[in-house]
């Protein structure tokens, strides 16, 4: 028995994906729409993974910027600490 390759419009795919995401069961949604479960699962997976990756890449950029800022602040604080150590040693000599 030969399989039929059905073509679906982008509008149909997008509507099916949004219905599947909102519903409690992707399998049930596929049955209601008359499409194979695996097809709808694939559409949902392909639609949601790029969004997750985009969010992750934005988070990585934010983390990189924050790390740069914190390293700069850490270097400044180390420098200030060294200055304060020297000042404390100087004033400790004066008090003796």
Q: Would you place residue 19 in the very low, low, confident or very high pLDDT band (cuts 50, 70, 90)? A: confident
Q: What is the mean pLDDT of residues 24-29?
A: 86
- Listed ranges 16-30, 57-71, 74-88; the one with the highest mean pLDDT: 74-88
How would you class 41 by CB atoms within 10 Å of its CB: exposed for 0-12, middle for 13-18, buried for 19 or more? middle
Domains (ranges, CATH) in the chain?
10-71 (1.10.10)
pLDDT band at 84 (very low <50, low <70, confident <90, very high): very high
Query: What value does the mean pLDDT of the chain take?
Result: 85
CB 29 within 8 A of CB 23: yes
């Amino acid at each position: 028995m030969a399989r039929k390759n059905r073509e679906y419009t982008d509008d149909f795919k997008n509507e099916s994906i949004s219905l599947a995401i909102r519903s409690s069961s992707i399998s049930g949604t596929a049955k209601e729409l008359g499409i194979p479960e695996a097809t709808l699962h694939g559409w949902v997976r392909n639609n949601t993974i790029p969004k997750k990756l985009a969010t992750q890449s934005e988070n990585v950029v934010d983390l990189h910027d924050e790390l740069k800022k914190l390293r700069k602040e850490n270097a400044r604080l180390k420098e200030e600490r060294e200055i304060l150590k020297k000042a404390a040693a100087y004033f400790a000599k004066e008090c003796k």
